[in-house]
Amino acid sequence: MPKGKPKSKIAKTVKVENIDTTQQVKLSVKCVGRVYNSSGSTLDEALDKIKIGNGARALSVITVTRGESVREKILNSSHTNNLFGNTGPTSRGIALRWVRALFQ
pLDDT of residue 28: 94
Task: Give the DSSP letter of residue 33.
Answer: T
For 76-103, write each residue's pLDDT tens digit: 999 999 998 888 899 999 999 999 998 8
Q: What is the pLDDT of residues 29-64, one digit of tens each?
A: 999 889 999 999 999 999 989 988 776 788 999 999
79 Cβ contact list (under 8 Å, min separation 6): 95, 98, 99
Question: What is residue 52's predicted lDDT score, i.e. its pLDDT?
Answer: 85
Angle between helices 77-84 and 89-102 (to 10 degrees): 120
The predicted-structure confidence for 12-31, as pLDDT tens digits, reads as follows 565 555 555 568 999 999 99
Task: Give the SS3 label for residue 78.
Answer: helix
Provide the pLDDT for residue 2: 60
